[in-house]
Amino acid sequence: MSQRQLAFILCICINIAKLSCVPAQTCKSIDNVNANNNYILPAYAIASLASQLPNSTLCEKELQSFRDAVDERIFWSLKVLDSSGTFQSGFLFGNNFWLGSRIQCVDAMNNIPLQISQRHSLNKTLYHNSQMEIPPFSDSCSPHIIKIVFLYADNKVWTSKVTSNFIFQIVTNASLSVDTFFFLSGFLMSYFYLKDKMDKNRMQPLTFRAKLNEFLIMVIRRFIRLTPAYVMTLLISQLSSTWLDKISPFYLYERPHENCPKYWWKNLLYINNFSPIKNMCMSWSWYLSADMQFFIIGLALLILSTTYFVIAVVILVSLLIGSIIFTGYLSYIYEFIPTFDEQQRLADVLYFPSWVRISPYIIGIIIGYISIRLNGKFVLKRRTVILCWCLGSACNLSMLFGIYKRQVPILYSTFYIAFHRGIWAIGIAWIVIACLTQHGGIINDILSFKGWVPFSRLSYCAYLINPFIIHFFHLQTERSVHFELISMIVTSIGFLGIIYFCSYILSLLAETPYSLLLRKIMQTRNRLKYKWRNSEKL
């Protein structure tokens, strides 16, 4: 019998055995399958028939070595066995791809451990008492509990190893982009408020009533501009989650259909970032709450600075220093090590609360004031400009790659967690100042490209619906995601187009009408106020 015929017969036998779910114990006399295996595994079954190959061939020796290693439970052989192809669900419907995992097979001899916390090991599996019969429910077939980072991936361990590489720190430390937005929010609020005061020569002291009126009007304007689209997204998320919970094979880690009816009022008051993530409605909206809180604090201090400048500066600097010290203290007492599992475990302590996130916003306010004072006039020598660019880049790169080795000493981690957001904001601050003072070069040309303007107008709605669309896409499918770089890039580009298309619709329905209405109201108010002042003069 030729080897080709033998391989063909083996494939037929393995298919029949797998479809019949024959216990391994019943086939012991045929293929010498280990008694601890519940079902025949194709790779092991083929290795067990190695004796039928011509003697002393390399193939026979390697198959026998593989079989013996599996019997002895040697780890590399178990990785190869696990990565070998087998039939998947849907075989009778034509899913006859027995692909296995080539990457895992190649990685069989990799001895580099996965970097996780050595002190905290959290059980993230669904408990099931095998001796107690329970009725099936919609999530009982979930392949795994959905994680925050790799929600729907079927190769989480491999992805964790890949993203631990040096260059992938750009992705794994992408949360620093949130601090960029906090910095820009503080900068723009400070810059435009002070610029408006300077242009209209209204830096003279106002009465307490006038200041309070100005404060309330600006807060109400911001609330009206943000809330309609926010509420519409919240309702859509809640309704879709109710439906997905019934039909999705995945476990919904975030459960808007349960949390939103209980805690929606926290979202409307912009305080939901003070809740644990398990109780959040639209957990990604924590940023809106923090930004609104920072806006209120920053606006109050800016208004105060028009009369009591020194007091406002002292309060602002005290908040900055206090945030840095308190963040470092929290990191130290919790013995935080920046591994991925620890970041998730302590997110409610070191990620969401406002007191650990405010430092970039405060630096943005300070840079806004400095930019107004500079008024675009900041003459520097070429060497000084190059030095500033090097220092600014060093700030950003050191924070981006500063925890490449996640298992770092406690004191190093404490220092990093305390200062990394502020130092990152300082690096971004130089880019802003350089662009405002004609020292930006090609960076200024890229950032000033007019093609960004339409996308910037949709960025708020895109931020709101971005997680919802990605969740919806994966939760209504029957397959998990297999992370691969090229496929993820293509998928991300597709998501980007869909997200901005949907954000355009959301903006037309819920953001633009209220913004136009608010603008009309403010124009009418200013007109009436102008007439009232003229009548007083007469």
Is residue 354 domain-resident?
Answer: no
Q: Residue 287 forms beta bridges with which residues?
A: none
Separation between Cα atoms, residue 336 and residue 267, nearest integer Å: 29
Using one digit for the tens of pLDDT, what is the confidence trace for 276-326?
Answer: 988 899 999 999 999 999 999 999 999 999 889 999 999 999 999 999 999
Task: Say how many Å lie between the first and final Cα of the chain, rounded.
Answer: 114
Per-residue pLDDT at 75: 76
Percentage of residues in the chain having pLDDT higher than 70:
76
pLDDT at 219 over 80: yes
For the chain, give the mean pLDDT.
79
Q: Which residues lie closer than 8 Å to 33 by C-beta, 6 or more apart?
A: 24, 27, 40, 44, 45, 48
User: Residue 175, class by beta-carbon neighbours within 10 Å (0-12 exposed, 13-18 middle, 19+ buried)?
Assistant: exposed
Q: Phi-psi bin for 90: left (phi > 0), alpha (psi -120 to 50), beta? A: left
Alpha helices (H) in 441-511, listed in sequence order: 442-447, 452-475, 485-506
Is residue 387 domain-resident?
Answer: no
pLDDT at 164 over 80: no
364 or 108, greater pLDDT: 364
Is residue 64 domain-resident?
Answer: yes
Return the number of other C-beta atoms located less than 10 Å from residue 468's C-beta: 20
In 3D space, the residue among 336, 484, 451, 465 whose CA is nearest the CA of residue 403 turns out to be 336
pLDDT at 441 over 90: no
Using one digit for the tens of pLDDT, what is the confidence trace for 34-60?
Answer: 544 434 577 777 777 777 776 667 777
Per-residue pLDDT at 482: 76
Using one digit for the tens of pLDDT, what is the confidence trace for 471-505?
Answer: 888 888 777 777 777 888 888 889 899 999 999 99
Q: Which amino acid is at 111?
A: N
Is residue 202 domain-resident?
Answer: no
User: What would the two tokens of residue 483 be?
Assistant: 């992370």
Per-residue pLDDT at 119: 59
167 or 449, greater pLDDT: 449
Q: What's the pTM? A: 0.77
Mean pLDDT: which of 21-30, 128-137, 195-204, 354-363 is highest?
Answer: 354-363
Separation between Cα atoms, residue 324 and residue 140, nearest integer Å: 44
Per-residue pLDDT at 419: 95
Q: Which residues lie closer than 8 Å to 88 by C-beta, 6 or more apart?
A: 95, 97, 98
Does residue 446 contact residue 211 with C-beta atoms inside 8 Å?
Answer: no
Is residue 418 domain-resident?
Answer: no
Mean pLDDT: which of 76-85, 204-213, 226-235 is highest?
Answer: 226-235
Is residue 82 domain-resident?
Answer: yes
Alpha helices (H) in 35-93, listed in sequence order: 42-48, 58-71, 75-83
- Count how many domains the chain has: 1
Is residue 24 domain-resident?
Answer: no
Distances (CA, A) of 35 to 10, 27, 97, 306, 324: 21, 9, 28, 82, 59
Q: Residue 153 forms beta bridges with which residues?
A: 481
Is residue 157 domain-resident?
Answer: no
Domain that holds residue 95: 40-112
